[in-house]
Chains A and B, each alone.
Chain A
Amino acid sequence: MFAQKNRLLFVLVVIIILPALLTSAAGAENIQANEDDEEITIAYVPRSLDNPIFLDAFEHAQEKAIDLGINIEWVAPFVYNEEAQIKIIESLIVRKVDGMVVSVNNTPEYIDVINRAIEAGIAVATFDADAPDSKRLFHIGIDNYEAGRVTAEGLLKVLENKNIDYRQQEKNLDTMIMTGVRGALNLDSRIEGFLDTVEATNIRVQDIVENQDSVNLSVELLEQYLQQNPDIDIIFFVGGWPFYVPAEALPNFQKWAANGGVAVGIDIFYDALLLQERGLLQYLVGQDMATMGSKGLSTLYNYIKYGVEPREYIETGVEVADDDNLERLLQTHRPWRVK
């Protein structure tokens, strides 16, 4: 009897509770589905479109976006221009994207626009070039000081191989440094790392040439500089701006290298490797732009989607290109230009 009564009560409870549970479960599914349906849009803002160094990041960010099922935007002025880049970031604020990963300078204008984006509820991270004084969420890139240091060590190794005495104090090794713009934190750190490493040598910086982050201007300035200073001993390219043109477009640079000039630089990509193969560059240090694209996106996605707090600095590491691995690197890196 009791069992019967309990059975009846159980059935009644089941009849009453089951629909409620079912309804509740269905609701939970709907909520999950809605969350999934909400498309996340993350925009990458490189410094410019005309700098192929960012293509690795572009490629891998897109692939990662497919994996994550989110929208990715890749927007920048074609040629680097601070005002135009800030305008693009502002348009992203107006369009209320969910997040953005930007390559900027640590200047008040960039800091201001990043902070405005964050105040608008947009998650902002930096890649390649950082603005640590802003409220950006995290930075992904290389340790630029380390990159500079590694480049300098590579240079010393090249000099040794060429039997050039960099410790001899009687004769200095005159050096020109080509950078984008002074004040770009990543570039300044590279220079600092480089200079600290060669401090005890006879390597002396004669000139620092700024190319305003422009590929075309960098080529022009390089050729012009070598025309006027053919006796310079070493060139340190803080970035790979002039490496995008074929060697034939750099006659003075070719002549200078043939006369024993030593050039080292940061940024590894296919065209730079070709120049290295032709003997115009002796040692290169590369950034892992692919990781900056994929990991930067996934880190920001996890923050937006799941609230996972990222580390403030995400180190992507450097690779080097020297005579030992050049052939292999030429196989793995792909040309960016349409032939």
Chain B
Amino acid sequence: MFNNLFKKLFKKIEIHTIRTKLIISFLIIGLLPILLSGLLSFNIYRGAINDRISAYSQEMVNRMERDLEDYISEIETFLSREQDFYINQFIKLTQANDFRNNRKYAFRIWEDFNNLKQMKPGLEDIAITFQDGRRISSYGIYNIDLENFRDRMYSDSSGEISFTSPYTNYLQQEVITIVSSYYPEIAEENVLISADIDLDVLANLTDFNLGEKSYFLIADQNGDIIYHPNQELIGQRSLLYNAGFPDRKLNLNGEQYILTSTFSYATGWYIISMASADEVEAELNYITDITLYMTLVVLLIIILLTIYLSSSLSRPIQKLQELTHRASENDLSVKIDTSGNDEIAELGQSFNKMIRRINKLMEQNVREQKLLRKLEMESLDNQIKPHFIYNTLDLIIGLLENKDFDRATHMVEALGKFFRLSLSHGKEMVLIRNEIKHVKNYLFIQQFRHGEEYEYIIDVEDHEIMDKHIPKLILQPIVENAIYHGLLPSEKKGLVIVKGYRENKNIYFKIVDNGVGIPAAKVDEINKILTGRLETDDQQKYFGLRNVDQRLKLMYGGSSGLRVESDQGEKTTVIIRIDQRGGK
């Protein structure tokens, strides 16, 4: 069943033209390496992309950790100041409610804090907070709920600095606060020095483009989210928390992510990268698309090149094929314009040469056919000699006058057959059987005309040749010569033998008469003329022999023709050789 299927399939895509074969070959040769190398490169690239994404994510979180720690440490440096004269004075005078003297310190602190804010982007507010919640900050003096504030605080690993979870500060900004205790030398009350950091700073620190779905987040040691691009999640326990944030691939809300994290000991925070695996795949898809498009482009180029090359190669062949076809349809005016010196050009030249040769042969053939027709006509003319017809008709009239109706009937019948066979419906070739009948009719008529002065014998040994075709009017002219030039001049009882046989695939006829014979010199001259070794300007000289000989040569080639042998006073033999291998 499969065999049939494949056969049908292959039959459907059967390749008929050289051009198609060339195109397919070139395509296979061109495409296979490209596809293989493309596939190999893609796989290598895929692995490299995955490695690169992981490495990039790790590098990003490490860099963020460094940036974050640098940022926080600068603020910590400010918060961890030893003793500040202005702050100390302010605390002391505030406790004493000495507003008159304190206002210049308040002004100085506002100025200092605002200068610091200017220098440190993302620093929203700097404040000193008293135990009762009174606070002086870069925005002035106000009160906060200290208890609530302390609830948000948790210490770092050193215990000297505290952080708060994200919250909305006095100015309704989303911040985290870094807090340090300050113990003024001149007052008993310790205060808190704090810095509010805008969550946008964390957003800026994590503003690395990993992709549209990929993101970074920051969480504290308990997994509570400090920063997340989705602000609604800030403050909530992260779903990713699993005794830390170990690196892994995970599924979150139906999306695959590559989680990479690092831990900042300075802040006690985890910095977590969530690279969307889908986007990595998307990047790979992008690469796949690029590879595909490049392959298509290369394919297109290869196809165009292939078409160009195959056309270049096959066009002369197609032209040759077309011209050959036209030549086969008898248009022998065709000629290929050959250029170059490759095999196809040589083939074209050979084709042109062949066509020229065929044209020559055709011309020759036409000439020969014309000659043949002419010879046939001449032979036929020779058949219908008026005195032959008149004598025969006179003879028939004599028989009728003598009331010898039987013989008259035979004569009329023989004469009719003679002419019918002579014309043979215009056919060029006749069966040997009919040619023999024709000779018999002729001999019957001539024998009766000449008073039965001679006998004739028709001897065809090989009856198979009777059904072979030969040019018509081959035997009769020779027999006529035998009668008129051999027997009639002779005094003795004449005999004409017409013998047919086959030898070495040649058909031979021997017409032998026991007439006066021909002088040897003349025989030699006749044979030289017949073989073309001797030219003669007299077209009527040996007309019958030459006509038959030329026709045979035209029909069967140079090996066919006549040869004359004679023993003067004894006999003359004309041998007709028909070489069937040279027949048309």
Residues of A within 8 A of B99 (CB): 58-60, 62-63
Q: What's the least CB distance linking A39 to chain B, in Å? A: 9
Interface centre among A91, A335, A337 (most CB of B within 10 A): A91
Q: Is the CB of A43 within 8 A of B142?
A: yes
Residues of B within 8 A of A336 (CB): 103-104, 107
Interface centre among B138, B142, B172 (most CB of A within 10 A): B142
**Bound CA span A71–B143, Å:** 8
Q: What's the least CB distance linking B409 to chain A, in Å? A: 148
- CB within 8 Å of A: which B67-116 residues: 86, 97, 99-100, 103-108, 110-111, 114
Residues of B within 8 A of A60 (CB): 99
Contact indicator per residue, chain A 26-69, by CB within 8 Å of chain B (1) or not (0): 00000000000000010100000110100100111011001000
Whether B186 sits at the interface, judged by CB under 8 Å, is no
Residues of A within 8 A of B114 (CB): 49-50, 78-79
Q: What's the least CB distance linking A208 to chain B, in Å? A: 29
Whether B36 sits at the interface, judged by CB under 8 Å, is no
Residues of A within 8 A of B171 (CB): 87-88, 91
**Bound CA span A55–B110, Å:** 12
Whether A94 sits at the interface, judged by CB under 8 Å, is yes
- CB within 8 Å of A: which B497-548 residues: none
Q: What's the least CB distance linking B141 to chain A, in Å? A: 5
Q: Is the CB of A50 within 8 A of B100?
A: no
**Bound CA span A58–B108, Å:** 14
Q: What's the least CB distance linking A301 to chain B, in Å? A: 16
Q: Is the CB of A55 within 8 A of B139?
A: no
Whether A77 sits at the interface, judged by CB under 8 Å, is yes
Residues of A within 8 A of B105 (CB): 338
Residues of B within 8 A of A59 (CB): 99-100, 103
Whether A73 sits at the interface, judged by CB under 8 Å, is yes
Whether B170 sits at the interface, judged by CB under 8 Å, is yes
Whether A76 sits at the interface, judged by CB under 8 Å, is yes
Nearest A-chain residue to B101, judged by Cβ: A334
**Bound CA span A338–B110, Å:** 12
Which of A52, A63, A72, A91 contacts B107, CB < 8 Å? A52
Contact indicator per residue, chain B 179-223, by CB within 8 Å of chain A (1) or not (0): 000000000000000000000000000000000000000000000
Whether B489 sits at the interface, judged by CB under 8 Å, is no
Whether A5 sits at the interface, judged by CB under 8 Å, is no
Whether B121 sits at the interface, judged by CB under 8 Å, is no
Q: Is the CB of A73 within 8 A of B143?
A: yes
Given the known inter-chain contacts A58-B106, A87-B171, A338-B105, please indicate yes or no for A73 contacting B111, CB distance below 8 A: no
Residues of B within 8 A of A41 (CB): 143
Whether A174 sits at the interface, judged by CB under 8 Å, is no
Which of B86, B97, B141, B172 contacts A91, CB < 8 Å? B172
Given the known inter-chain contacts A43-B142, A75-B139, A90-B172, please indicate yes or no for A334 contacting B107, CB distance below 8 A: no
Whether B140 sits at the interface, judged by CB under 8 Å, is yes
**Bound CA span A63–B102, Å:** 12
Q: Is the CB of B103 within 8 A of A58?
A: yes
Residues of B within 8 A of A71 (CB): 143
Residues of A within 8 A of B172 (CB): 87, 90-91, 94
Q: Is the CB of A78 within 8 A of B103?
A: no
Whether A328 sits at the interface, judged by CB under 8 Å, is no
**Bound CA span A338–B140, Å:** 17
Q: What's the least CB distance linking A68 to chain B, in Å? A: 13
Which of A63, A75, A78 contacts B111, CB < 8 Å? A78
**Bound CA span A74–B172, Å:** 17
Q: Is the CB of B104 within 8 A of A49?
A: no
Whether A95 sits at the interface, judged by CB under 8 Å, is yes
Given the known inter-chain contacts A55-B103, A90-B172, A335-B104, please indicate yes or no for A49 contacting B143, CB distance below 8 A: no
Residues of A within 8 A of B139 (CB): 49, 75-78, 88
Nearest B-chain residue to A41, judged by Cβ: B143
The secondary-structure label for the interface of chain B is helix
Q: What's the least CB distance linking B131 to chain A, in Å? A: 15
Q: Is the CB of B170 within 8 A of A49?
A: no
Q: What's the least CB distance linking B132 to chain A, in Å? A: 10
Q: Is the CB of B170 within 8 A of A91?
A: yes
**Bound CA span A78–B106, Å:** 12
Residues of A within 8 A of B143 (CB): 41, 71, 73
Given the known inter-chain contacts A62-B99, A88-B171, please indicate yes or no for A338 contacting B142, CB distance below 8 A: no
Q: Is the CB of B104 within 8 A of A338?
A: yes
Given the known inter-chain contacts A90-B172, A94-B172, please indicate yes or no for A75 contacting B104, CB distance below 8 A: no
Q: Is the CB of B140 within 8 A of A74?
A: yes
**Bound CA span A336–B171, Å:** 27
Residues of A within 8 A of B104 (CB): 55, 335-338
Which of B97, B103, B170 contacts A66, CB < 8 Å? B97
Q: What's the least CB distance linking B134 to chain A, in Å? A: 8
- CB within 8 Å of A: which B108-130 residues: 108, 110-111, 114
Residues of A within 8 A of B86 (CB): 338
Contact indicator per residue, chain A 85-103, by CB within 8 Å of chain B (1) or not (0): 0011011001100000000
Nearest A-chain residue to B135, judged by Cβ: A73
Nearest A-chain residue to B137, judged by Cβ: A75
Q: Is the CB of A55 within 8 A of B107?
A: yes
**Bound CA span A88–B170, Å:** 9
Residues of A within 8 A of B107 (CB): 49, 52, 55, 336-338
Nearest A-chain residue to B113, judged by Cβ: A78
Nearest A-chain residue to B142, judged by Cβ: A73
Q: What's the least CB distance linking B278 to chain A, in Å? A: 41
**Bound CA span A220–B189, Å:** 43
**Bound CA span A63–B141, Å:** 14
Nearest A-chain residue to B86, judged by Cβ: A338
Q: Is the CB of A75 within 8 A of B97?
A: no
Nearest B-chain residue to A93, judged by Cβ: B172
Nearest B-chain residue to A73, judged by Cβ: B142
Nearest A-chain residue to B107, judged by Cβ: A336
Residues of B within 8 A of A52 (CB): 107
Q: What's the least CB distance linking A65 to chain B, in Å? A: 9
Residues of A within 8 A of B138 (CB): 78
Q: Is the CB of A73 within 8 A of B110?
A: no
Which of B103, B106, B142 contacts A75, CB < 8 Å? B142
**Bound CA span A336–B101, Å:** 9
Nearest A-chain residue to B89, judged by Cβ: A338
Residues of B within 8 A of A337 (CB): 104, 107
Residues of A within 8 A of B100 (CB): 59, 63, 334
Residues of B within 8 A of A72 (CB): 141
Residues of B within 8 A of A79 (CB): 114
**Bound CA span A43–B139, Å:** 12
**Bound CA span A43–B107, Å:** 17
Q: What's the least CB distance linking A295 to chain B, in Å? A: 16
Q: Is the CB of A75 within 8 A of B140?
A: yes
**Bound CA span A74–B359, Å:** 121
Residues of A within 8 A of B140 (CB): 49, 73-76
Contact indicator per residue, chain A 327-339, by CB within 8 Å of chain B (1) or not (0): 0000000111110
**Bound CA span A71–B141, Å:** 10
**Bound CA span A49–B141, Å:** 10
Residues of A within 8 A of B111 (CB): 50, 78
**Bound CA span A218–B77, Å:** 35
Which of A73, A87, A334 contacts B141, CB < 8 Å? A73
Interface centre among B107, B114, B140 (most CB of A within 10 A): B140
Q: What's the least CB distance linking A40 to chain B, in Å? A: 12
Q: What's the least CB distance linking A101 to chain B, in Å? A: 13
**Bound CA span A91–B114, Å:** 19
**Bound CA span A72–B99, Å:** 13
Residues of A within 8 A of B106 (CB): 58
Residues on B close to A: CB < 8 A? 86, 97, 99-100, 103-108, 110-111, 114, 138-143, 170-172
A78-B110, A336-B104 known, 9 other contacts, Cβ within 8 Å? A49-B110, A59-B100, A60-B99, A63-B97, A71-B143, A73-B141, A73-B143, A76-B139, A334-B100
11 interchain pairs (CB within 8 A)? A43-B142, A49-B110, A50-B111, A50-B114, A63-B97, A73-B140, A75-B141, A78-B139, A87-B171, A336-B103, A336-B104
Nearest 4 interchain pairs by C-beta = A75-B140, A73-B142, A78-B114, A62-B99
